[in-house]
Amino acid sequence: MRLLNRSAGRLSRHRRGPIAGLVVLLLGLLLTGGLYAAFAPAQADSTQSQEELVEEGRELFIVGCAFCHGQNGEGVLTQGGDQYGPALTDVGAAAVDFQVGTGRMPMAAPGNQAPRKEVVYTDDEIAALSAYVASLGTGPSIPDAELYDPDTLSDEEYDEYVTRGGQIFLANCTACHNFEGSGGAMPRGGYAPKIRGVDPKHIYEAMLTGPQSMDTFSDGNIPPDDKKAVIAYLDTLNEQPNYGGFTFGNLGPVSDGLVAWLVGIGGLVGFAVWIAAHTTRTSKEKDGADA
């Protein structure tokens, strides 16, 4: 304390000195400049890096995507006139974030559906690719967390969202994805994938962009709030215990029938064999001499 008083006193002695004004002025400028550098320049910097990001994305795109989607994302047609890789000019950043973020793109091999697999690109690379594709035209951008994340809801809100979301889910999603989100079959080897345990952001983006054979659920069709409700419902399905006991992939009556036959009847016939094999003994000694 004494030290502080002494230094303050020493400093105070110079307050009327000839360079005091200059020093205060310099200090003031330094502080203002420092604060400005800390907060404001972000905008100026990001304009700069957005361009860099798009450029970085373009380079990644040319290496990893252009073979099927074209040098400028204009799409590639086969000789027969089919789509080899569709045009990406108006798909938006959300589509790229979904497809690349779930590992569906780049595809390992051409096929009727891109399966979900290990993610190839890093988050930064995905951001760069998204930025590049977004720069090609219009399309939905990557949603903010508060649009899709059920963790941002209060407890009462959450219950309300779950109930509403369940009904929206059953009306719009279960026809293909099954009542538990276990997935279902689509024509010609296609399928609606399992959607349990999927990142809420990707569920939101899938609804927004309609990947592969999925419909696009635009914000006019299912408003963002309802999308969040669906995600909250799926979240509950993940959280809640299996009240009835073990399930068999939650696939409905087919797997139940399998259990009834294999475990139920199979087991009971086994018991029947066992009971028939153990019969009363008429005498202690076994008379199997001529059996």
Partner 1 sequence: MMKSADVATTNGTEPATPTRSAKAAGAVATWADERLGLGTAMKKQLRKVFPDHWSFMLGEIALWSFVILLLTGVFLTLFFDPSMTEVQYNGSYDPLRGVHMSRAMASTLEISFDVRGGLLMRQMHHWAAMIFIAAMMIHLLRVYLTGAFRKPRELNWIIGCLLLLLGTIEGFTGYSLPDDLLSGTGVRAADGFMKASPVVGTYMSFFLFGGEFPGDQIIPRLYAAHILLIPGLLLALITAHMLLLVYHKHTQWPGPGRTEENVVGYPLLPVYMAKAGGFFFIVFGMTALLGGLFTLNPVWKYGPYDPSKVTAGSQPDWYMGWPDGLLRIIPPWETHIWGVTLSWNIMLPILIAPPLMLMVLIALPFLEQWITGDKREHHLLQRPRNAPTRTAVMAALITFYGLSWAAGGNDIIAIKMHLSINQITYFLRGAVIIGPIIAFMITRRWCISLQRHDQEKLLHGYETGVIVRSPDGGYAEKHLPISETKAYTLTARDREEVYTANGTADEAGVAAPGGKVAEVAKKIRSKLSALMFADNVQKPTAEELHEAQHHADHELHELEHQIATGPNKHGPTDDDH
What is the contact surface with partner 1 in residues (CB under 8 A)? Answer: 159, 162-163, 166-167, 170-171, 174-180, 182-189, 191-192, 233, 236-237, 240, 242-257, 259-261, 263-265, 267-269, 271-273, 275-277, 279-280, 282, 287-288, 290-291
Q: Which is nearer to partner 1, 39 or 274 (CB)?
A: 274
61 within 8 A of 125, measured Cβ to Cβ = no
Q: Measured from the CB of residue 133, what is the shortest distance to partner 1 in angstroms?
A: 30
Q: Which is nearer to partner 1, 65 or 234 (CB)?
A: 234
Q: Measured from the CB of residue 233, what is the shortest distance to partner 1 in angstroms?
A: 7
Q: Measured from the CB of residue 184, what is the shortest distance to partner 1 in angstroms?
A: 3
Q: Which is nearer to partner 1, 30 or 260 (CB)?
A: 260
The closest alpha carbon to 173, from 157, 151, 153, 196, belongs to 196
Q: In this structure, which long-range contacts are made by residues 182-187, counting pairs with CB atoms below 8 Å and at least 24 apart in sequence?
A: 182/249, 182/250, 182/251, 186/113, 186/213
Q: Show the beta-strand stretches assigned E in 140-230.
A: 184-185, 191-192
Give CA–CA dist 223/172, Å, rounded: 13
Give CA–CA dist 42/46, Å, rounded: 6
Q: Which is nearer to partner 1, 5 or 242 (CB)?
A: 242
Q: Measured from the CB of residue 225, what is the shortest distance to partner 1 in angstroms?
A: 17
